[in-house]
Copies of this chain bind each other. A is one copy, B any other.
Amino acid sequence: MPEEKYFLSLSCRNRPGIVAAVARCLFEGGANIREAHQHDDVETGTFFSRIGFNFVRGGDLDDMRRAFAAVGEEFGMTWYMRPVSLPQRVLVLVSRFDHCLADILYRWRIGELNMTIAGIVANYPRETYQHHDFDGIPFDYLPVTRETRAEQEAQLWRIVEERQVDLVILARYMQILSPELASRLAGRCINIHHSFLPGFKGARPYHQAHERGVKLIGATAHYVTGDLDEGPIIEQDVERVTHQDTPDALVRKGRDIERRVLSRALAWHLDGRVILNGRKTVVFRD
Please give the residue numbers on chain A whose beta carbons come within 8 Å of chain B beta carbons, in ascending order. 14-20, 22-24, 26-27, 31-42, 56-57, 99, 102, 106, 109-110, 112, 130-133, 135, 195-199, 211-216, 218, 220, 232-238, 242-245, 249, 252, 256, 260, 277, 279-283, 285-286
Contact = CB atoms under 8 A, between A and B. Distances in A.
Contacts of A249: 286
Given A132-B133, A215-B236, A33 B19 contact: yes
A133 B131 contact: yes
For this chain, the copies found in one complex come to: 4
A100 to B, nearest CB: 11
B40 A35 contact: yes
Contacts of A279: 211-213
A216 B242 contact: no
A270 to B, nearest CB: 14
Nearest to A135: B131
Nearest to A131: B133
B213 A280 contact: yes
